[in-house]
Amino acid sequence: MKKPMSVLLLSCMLSTVLLQACSAPESLEKPQAVSHRFVAAHRGYSQAAPENTLPAFNEAYLAGADAIEYDMQVTKDSHVVIMHDKTVNRTTNGKGKITDLTLAQVEKLDAGYWFSPRFKGTRVPTLAQLLDQFKRHAPVLQFSEIKHYRTAADISLMIEPILKLGLEKRTVVTAFSPSDLHIVRQMSPHIGIGYLCPSVRATVLALNLAANDPNTWVMPTSTVLVNHPALIRRAAKQHTHLAAWTVNREDLEDDLELLGVHSFITNDPKLIEGSP
**What are the residue numbers of the active site?**
42, 84
- Rg value, the chain, Cα: 19
Number of Cβ atoms within 10 Å of the Cβ of 171 = 25
Spatial CA neighbour of 174 closest among 161, 191, 152, 157: 191
Alpha helices in 23-134 (DSSP H): 54-63, 103-107, 127-134
Phi, psi of 182 (to 5 degrees): -65, -40
Give the start-end residues of each E strand in 28-108.
38-42, 67-74, 80-82
* H or E element, residue 217: strand 216-220
